[in-house]
Each structure stands twice: as structure tokens, then as C-alpha cells.
Amino acid sequence: MKKKFKMVDLDCANCAAKMENAIKKIDGVQDATVSFMAQRLTVEADDSRFEEIMDQIVKTCKKVEPDCQIVR
Amino acid sequence: MTSKQKKMLLRILISAVLLVAAVLIPVEGPWRFLLFLPAYFTIGWDVLWKAVVNISHGQVFDENFLMALATVGAFCTGFFGDGEYPEAVFVMLFYQVGELFQSYAVGKSRRSIASLMDIRPNYANIERDGVLEQVDPEDIAVGDIIVIKPGERAPLDGIVREGSSALDTAALTGESLPREVGVGDAVTSGCVNMSGLLRVEVTKPFEESTVSKILDLVENSSSKKAKAENFITKFARYYTPIVVCSAVALAVLPPLILGGGWGDWVQRALIFLVVSCPCALVISVPLSFFGGIGGASKQGILVKGGNYLEALAQAETMVFDKTGTLTQGIFRVAGTYPQGCTEAELLETAALVESYSDHPISRSLKDAWGRDPEPGRVTEAEELSGRGVRAKVDGKTVCAGNSKFMEELGVEYASCQQVGTAVHVAVDGQYAGCVVIADQPKEDAAQAIRELKAEGIRQTVMLTGDRKEVGESVAKELGLDAVYTQLLPADKVEKVEELLRGKSEKGKLAFVGDGINDAPVLSRADIGIAMGGLGSDAAIEAADIVLMDDKPSKIAEAMRISRRTLGIVRQNIVFALAVKAAVLVLSALGMSNMWEAVFADVGVAVLAILNAMRALSLPKK
């Protein structure tokens, strides 16, 4: 399943790149992009565990940039 | 400005006032140190906090950490050595001003790109029980009749059932000339209704409408990254750790080896830390591509990703489909050759005799004549398959058809030199001349080929399923380098593969088609360019670049945009790296100070962002 999320207060381009790399490494995530320009996160992940994976993604992003929020 | 930016501005002002006050108060020793702390914490508390939090998360080399280390380090050299306290505060202040400006500039550019694509409709008018209601376009079903008032944007795709108007399609195609629509014509979502009230039957749900597709495509375009972008992200991953390690080495090794004071070397190392952030590069490269894609979409050129924009700049072979791409795909009267009558008479006779037929040829004759046949003028019409039509027109027996028909009738006809489908006309057994019907090249097709050659395309090739004579005459008229005719769709793929083998290593091959039966070729070529028409789904799906107004001359425009975007990307990379390298070398030699380092970080980022914004505007021819 592929889903898009808006990101609020994503302020640094380097952080976006770091988040993208970190999200891609999460188990169950097939593909992910963090677009700094569009302030948007696109995740492709396993259907059955999507919510659980999203929780992990939110945690991962918080680690990189504590200010940034993912609107779910 | 957002509230977050406003808050930051306030902090910057307060801190600046505190800093000035601290400099002016004449106190010496440790008291002086304490005097600068309020100014420093006002401006830098969040940076310090984030640095601590991020280290606990395992994010060591982020910019907060680097700035915290650099400024705390500056304080320490001030406390123990001969450094100055104001410097530490000012570096932090300058850094925050730069960050604020950077966030403002990025926000502004993001908005200006978004406004280019501001075609999302907010509501649709629907009549329920005689009352006009505004509803969400997503709630409209296929078959509903919606009302589009003058000045409103068409929210969904549909067909006009009542009313007529002119539509402004500029947001979709970049075309400034309005399009006239009447009952039975298609309306594309995103167009603005300029004059009359329209009642439109919706033909597609909102998710499948043209507007949704385009918005989706442009929003997703930033996920397909160009090589330059990938290079920069990879570069950033190594750059920061390397600079930080060199900073440590610079602080420790020279004093150990050469002996002498630590303060000076530590200060040089701190400068390294400030320069080590790769932000200028990481922001400006995707921003330039985003700007280029935004600028192109303003022209009705949809690019599906930065990688395609990059590839287009390297295009060397351009392969075209004929029908619908270089030609209009509509049959029109291309020439009349009367014998013993005037051109108008010949055309009228031909149009009348064919008036009962529904063949594309008859329609093009009727269009060229431009009138409706009066009832009673044409009688006893019969179609003779594979030959033509025979009928009585104004009492005379008129035969119109191909040369075989004329031979059968025993009429002596003149063979026609012009390439196309010839319709010979005989009146009462007397030859009256012939009308040539052909698919006309698009108005800008010849200009498109010329411009592409001027842009450095080495080879232009046309592939067509059409007859040899027709294909070759079109190719000659438009000035193409090579033409391959009588090809089946599978042959086209083979030809493209042959051309792909023949091109140089770095050059790219682009295929331009109308997307109807050349989807395999579009995906096989390095860059597939489709004539999207207004709303052709197949083309939008299969291609990498879509021309919304079907004009081949837009390809040269797209190439100019791509070259310019890449130029800006290159300028930014070279500029940012050169400034950083220069500051690194100078600071290692002890010839640079904190100010220059902060400029090399945020100053360069801001300049690179401003440069990237140029990608949005149109390049000059």
C-alpha cells in the first residue's frame, strides 16, 4: 500500500534526506521518499502492518528532527 | 511569515539588543563573561537543546551540534585565552538570521511553485430541486449535470449539454488563445470559463479527472531524483564526518607536534565545524529541479521527474511518430486541380456528391466547402465500395473516386503529383479535375525541427506506419534527417532499439508520440515524450514528459528549460563547494575567522536558494 502524508515544520533539507534513509531501513517498508520541497512523505509498506510501521516511522523522524510532525 | 518565523525574528531582535548592551557595559574578568550569557541563551537555547537531544538519539553530526560546539568553543577560548565573547554570540546570531532567511526563501519559492499549479477546484455547482448548490467536486458522480458560471474553473471533466462559451486553457496548456466550446464539446477540468454559463455532464470522477492527474504527477515529480541530486545527498553523507574529523585533527595534532598554544588551533578547528554543514547544496539542488519542473508546467509541459529533465538536456537523437505528432491527424483538403471549371465549382461538386457518405474523406470535403447541401440537389446517391461514389447532382451524373474508378468509367484523368489521397471527379463522363486530401503537418512542426537542431539535436528521425510517398514527402517538407515508413507498432520498437545502439554513449534518445499505439516505444526510449492532448490517459501514463497542448515546438522549449535548470544546479554546486573549500583552506592556515565561516554556511545557502529560484522563470530563446 502506498500512502502520502503531509509534514509540518520540516525545516532542513539535510534532515529530510536523513529521514528518508532511516525510514527505508525500517522493516516492512518497501520504499519511502521525503520530499523537502513538497513537504510530503510517501511510504510504500506492507498492508497488514501499516499502522505499526507508521508508528515506527514517526518515532524515527522525531529522532532526526524533533520539531517536525507527520500529519496522519 | 509563519508564526514560527515571527517568533524567531523577535528572538533575534532581543538578542541583538542584549548583545549591544553587553558590549557597551565596561566590566572586566568573569563578570564580562556572565554579561554575554543572556544574549547567547536568548538566541541559541534551542540549538543547544536540540544538540543535546539529538546526541542522545545518536544523531551526532547535525548542524545543531556543530553550531553548539563551535559557539561553546568560542566562549571557552574567550574565557581561557585571548578570544572575544561577543564573537560567540554573534556567530550564533548570524547563524539564526541565516536560517530564518533560508526558511523564508524556501517557503516563498515553495508557494510560488504551488501557485503555478493552483488549478485544484474547491467546489462544483450542482442543481438540486431547482436550487444551485456548491458541493465538493469529489462528491459528484459520473452523469451528474454541473453548472459552470463565467469566471469559474471547471471542476471536473465533462461534455457540454447546454450553453456555449470560451475556455481559458492557459493553466493546463500555457496557450493564451481561448478555446470555443458549444453543445457536445468536451470540457477539461482546470480550464476557466470566460463568457457564458455552461451545463456540463460529468464524464469522469474527480480522482480520474485531468486536474487530479496533473496535480498528482507534479507532486510526485520530486520523488524521481536526478543524478545530480543523488550525488549531493551521497556527498553530504561523507562530507560532514570528514570535515569534523579534520577539525579534531587540526585542534590536536599541530599543538602536539609543533608545540605551543592550543587556543589558536582550537579556534581554527571551530571554524571547520561551522563550514562542515552541507545544507546549501542539499537544499539548492532539489529546489532548482523543482523550479525547473514548475516553470515547465506553466508552459503546458509536464515533466515527471528531475531525472527526465536532466536526461532531456543530453538528448541527441529525437525520434518522432508522424500522425498526430508532427501532423494534425485530421484529413483536410490539401489541393484542388480543376479541369474546365473553377476550383470552387470542383470543390462544391465533390462535396455534394460525397454528401451522403460518412467517410472521413467526405467529411473533409464538406468542411472545405463550408456549407450544408440544400435538400433535393443530390439524388440517386450510391456508394461503390473500393471505388467511390456516384450520384445525380443538379440533374447531372457525377462520379467521384479513385483512379481505378475513372479507368472503369473510361474517363481520361490526369494523374496527380501532390502526395495524398486523390479524389477524381467526372461530370456526365467529362473529367472535371481532382481534389487531394492529406493529413496536414502541424503549423509549428517545421519550426519545431529547426529549433531542435539549433538546440543541438544531432539526428531527427520520423517513424510512420503510413505509405512511403506520404511519409517521405512530410519528412522532406519538415526537414527531418531520416524517415522509416510502413512500420507496424512492433517495427517501431525495433527501429528505436537500432537507433539506441547507434547513438553515442552519453547522448540520450527521445521518442515523441501521441501515446495512442506507441506506448511500448515511449517506455523503451530514454525519454518518452507524449502529446497529452487534453485528457488522453494513455499518454499521461506511458510518457516521461507530456505536452499538454500537443505542440511539437514545446520540445525545444522543454530542452531550453532543462539546460538552464542544469546550468543553475552546476553553478550552485561549484559555487558552494568553492566557497567552502576556500574558507577551509584559509582557516587551516589561520587566515580566516568565524564570520567568513558562517557566511560559507548560511550565506552560501541563501545565495544558492536565490539562484535556484531563477529556474522558475522562462529561459530566453
Q: How far apart are CA B341 and CA B389, in angstroms?
A: 20
Range of the domain at B75: 3-114+222-290+563-616
Q: Which of 16-55 (A) contact B at CB < 8 A?
A: 17-18, 33, 35-40, 42
Q: For the complex shown, is ipTM > 0.90?
A: no
**Phi and psi, residue B305, nearest 5°:** 180, 160
Query: Is B12 within the bounds of a domain?
Result: yes
pLDDT single digits (tens) B259-280: 767 777 887 888 888 787 777 7
CB-count burial class (<10 Å; 0-12, 13-18, 19+) for B94: buried
pLDDT score recorded for residue B169 = 80
* Chain B residues touching A15 at Cβ < 8 A: 62
Residue in B511, B615, B620 with CA at minimum distance from that of residue B298: B615
Gyration radius of chain B's alpha carbons: 35
Radius of gyration over alpha carbons of chain A, in Å? 11
Same domain? For B515 and B540 the reply is yes
Low-confidence spans in chain B with pLDDT less than 50: none
Which are the contacts of B608, defined by CB distance < 8 A and separation ≥ 6? B280, B281, B283, B284, B572, B575, B576
Domain edge (last residue) among B411, B441, B471: B441
At B334, is the secondary structure helix, strand, or coil? strand
CA distance A13 to chain B (A): 5
CA distance to partner chain B, nearest, from residue A52 (Å): 21
Contact B390/B378 with Cβ under 8 angstroms?
no
CA B323 to chain centre: 24
Give me the residue label for grid cell 450553453. B163
pLDDT of B610: 84
Which residue from B597, B576, B580, B587 is spatially nearest to B87, judged by alpha carbons? B597
If you ran DSSP here, which 8-state letter would residue B412 be given?
-
Residues B345 and B436 occupy one common structural domain: yes
Cβ-Cβ contacts under 8 Å, B54 against chain A: 63-64, 66
∠ CA B583-B588-B591, rounded to 5°: 65
Inter-residue contact B201 to B145 (CB < 8 Å): yes
- In 3D space, the residue among A22, A48, A53 whose CA is nearest the CA of residue B54 turns out to be A22
- Residue B379 domain-assigned (yes or no): yes
Report yes or no on B257 lying in a domain: yes
Q: How far is CA B590 from CA B21, B586, B601, in A?
A: 30, 6, 18
Is the separation of the CB atoms in B610 and B289 below 8 Å? no
Residues B283 and B378 in one domain: no
Same-domain status, B430 and B519: no
B508: which 3 cell numbers?
Answer: 540520450
Look up the CATH number of the domain holding residue B514: 3.40.50.1000
Considering the domain architecture, whether residues B490 and B435 belong to the same structural domain is answered as no
Q: Residue B450: what pLDDT?
A: 93
Q: Find, among A44, A21, A3, A31, the residue nearest to B282 by Cα.
A: A21
- Whether B269 and B334 map to the same domain: the answer is no
- pLDDT at position B317, please? 92
Is the Cα dihedral B478, B483, B487, B489 positive or negative? negative
Q: Quote the pLDDT of residue B559.
A: 93
Residues B341 and B415 reside in one and the same domain: yes
**Which of B181, B112, B191 minimizes the C-alpha distance to B151?**
B191
Provide the β-strand partners of residue B528: B511
For residue B566, the model assigns a pLDDT of 93
Residue B613 carries which DSSP code?
Answer: G
What CATH number corresponds to the domain at position B190?
2.70.150.10
- Of B499, B524, B548, at which residue does a domain stop? B548
CA of A13: which chain B residue's CA is closest? B283
Torsion of CA B338, B339, B341, B343, to 10 degrees: 10
Query: Is A13's CB within 8 Å of B113's CB?
Result: no
- Is the domain of B255 the same as that of B384? no
Please identify which residue in the block is written with the cell numbers 509541459: B301
Q: Do A13 and B282 touch (CB under 8 A)?
A: yes
What is the domain-level CATH number for residue B350? 3.40.1110.10
Selected catalytic residue, list B46, B82, B157, B321: B321
**B321 is annotated as an active-site residue:** yes
Residues B109, B234: one domain?
yes
Q: pLDDT at position B117, please?
A: 61
Find the closest chain A residue to B224 by CA distance: A33
Residues on chain B touching A38 (C-beta within 8 angstroms): 219, 222
Q: Specify whether the CB–CB gap between B342 and B260 falls below 8 A.
A: no
CB contact at 8 A, B438 and B331: yes
Contact between B53 and A66 using a beta-carbon 8 Å cutoff: yes
- Residue B176 inside a domain? The answer is yes
Inside any domain, residue B558 = no
- Residue B212: inside a domain, yes or no? no
Q: pTM of the entire structure?
A: 0.76
- Structurally, chain B folds into a number of domains equal to 4
Residue B213 lies in a domain: no
Tell me the C-alpha distance between B286 and B565, whole Å. 10
C-alpha cell at B346: 470542383
Cross-chain residue pair A33–B233, CB shorter than 8 Å: no
CA distance B217 to chain A (A): 12
Strand partners of residue B162: B199
Residues 6+ apart with CB under 8 A from B592: B271, B583, B586
Instruction: Classify burial at B591, counting beta carbons within 10 Å of its beta carbon; exposed 0-12, middle 13-18, buried 19 or more.
Output: exposed
Residue B207: burial class (beta carbons within 10 Å; 0-12, 13-18, 19+):
exposed
Number of CB atoms found within 10 A of residue B119's CB: 20
Q: Is residue B195 part of a domain?
A: yes
* CA dihedral of residues B278, B280, B283, B286 (deg, nearest 10): -100
**Nearest chain A Cα distance for residue B401, angstroms:** 58
- B537 with B519, same domain? yes
Contact predicate B255/B335, CB 8 Å: no
Query: Is B282 in the same domain as B383?
Result: no
Contact assessment for residue B587 and residue B271, using Cβ atoms and an 8 Å cutoff = yes
Q: What pLDDT digit, counting tens, does each position of B95-118 carry? A: 888 888 777 877 776 776 666 666
Question: Which of B179, B268, B283, B54 is CA-nearest to residue A10?
Answer: B283
Residues of B with Cβ-Cβ distance to A39 under 8 angstroms: 110
CB B409 within 8 A of CB B426: yes
Pair B22, B78 in one domain = yes
Q: Which residue of B has its CA nearest to A17?
A: B233
The residue written with cell numbers 463565467 in the block is B150
Domain end point (choices B517, B548, B579): B548
